[in-house]
Amino acid sequence: MAYVPRNNAIVDKSFHFACEIVVYTQQLKAQGFYEIGSQLLKSGTSIGANVRESQRAVSTKDFKNKLSIALKEAEETQYWLQIIEHTEIAEVSKALSENCEELIRLLVSIIKNS
């Protein structure tokens, strides 16, 4: 089943970011960095899962709660990317880092304005 764009910036961006994370963590694991790759995979894909779940929220409070969880996961993902970059165990592309930062900014904005 192919992904169908939702014409919703946060839903689409978080999905594509999760795909980037899957590919990147495969590279990390191929280099022997299983633990950090697993941590990054969990947090990086959880962003989109929580964003998607927020789309079926039963109330504004529920919506904001789901996006708050996505924001926490985005912050954790940014943390793991910074660890990888700082320790120089692998290269973190500028695009991957920027995409994570963009998701954080979008989530903060949506939560504040909901």
What is the pTM (predicted TM-score) of this model? 0.95
Residue 68 lies in a domain: yes
Distance CA 67, CA 81 (A): 21
Q: What is the CATH number of the domain that holds 107?
A: 1.20.1440.60
Residue 24 lies in a domain: yes
* Structure-token pair, residue 67: 């996006």
Per-residue pLDDT reduced to its tens digit, 24-58: 999 999 999 999 999 999 999 999 999 999 999 99
Per-residue pLDDT reduced to its tens digit, 63-83: 999 999 999 999 999 999 999
Q: Which long-range contacts (CB under 8 A, 24 or more apart) does 64-69 make?
A: 64/111, 64/114, 67/107, 67/110, 67/111, 67/114, 68/111
Using alpha carbons, select from 74, 25, 24, 26 the residue that is nearest to residue 49.
74
Residue 34 lies in a domain: yes
Domain that holds residue 105: 9-112
